């Protein structure tokens, strides 16, 4: 049985996107739109309105950008953009099993015009009480 097919609590997809559009990665409204639209496309349920914050340059490796979050009944989605580096870091974590990773990857690739993506898929809660996973 593949790891993704074994009983588990949740699934966590991380995406690091490279070569994105400076304009799109610096567009607060686009980030807010992504956080508003994606949960519905995945059959997830927001618990609150998404929020997006300006993140200042920390004078080290982070030249500033935007950080946005939406809390969903199934967990959360977060987006951190670094427009000057044409980079974005995204987390989609859910207790809903069987997420279609390709839908999420394609969504963000198109939204930010990413040239390349590095993804990691993590199975969470492998030791969660099995009787509670049914």
Active site members: 75, 80, 95
Q: What are phi and psi of 37, to 5 degrees?
A: -85, -45
Helix (H) / strand (E) containing 110: helix 101-112
Helix (H) / strand (E) containing 25: helix 22-25
Q: Dihedral angle at the C-alpha atoms of 38, 44, 49, 50, nearest 10 degrees?
A: -40
Q: Which of 103, 79, 86, 70 is nearest to 31 (CA)?
A: 79
> The tokens of 68 are what?
């946005």
Please enumerate in sequence order all residues whose Cβ is within 8 A of that of 95, keeping only pairs 6 or more positions apart, or say none. 9, 10, 74, 75, 125
């Amino acid at each position: 049985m593949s790891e993704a097919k074994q009983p588990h609590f949740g699934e966590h997809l991380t995406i690091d996107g490279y070569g994105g559009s400076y304009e799109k990665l610096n567009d607060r409204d686009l980030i807010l739109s992504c956080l508003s639209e994606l949960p519905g496309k995945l059959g997830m349920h927001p618990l609150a309105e998404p929020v997006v914050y300006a993140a200042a340059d920390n004078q080290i490796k982070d030249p500033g950008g935007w950080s946005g979050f939406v809390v969903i009944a199934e967990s959360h989605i977060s987006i951190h953009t670094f427009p000057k580096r044409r980079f974005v870091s995204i987390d989609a974590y859910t207790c809903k099993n069987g997420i279609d990773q390709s839908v999420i990857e394609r969504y963000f690739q198109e939204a930010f015009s990413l040239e390349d993506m590095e993804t990691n898929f993590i199975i969470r809660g492998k030791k969660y009480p099995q009787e509670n996973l049914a």
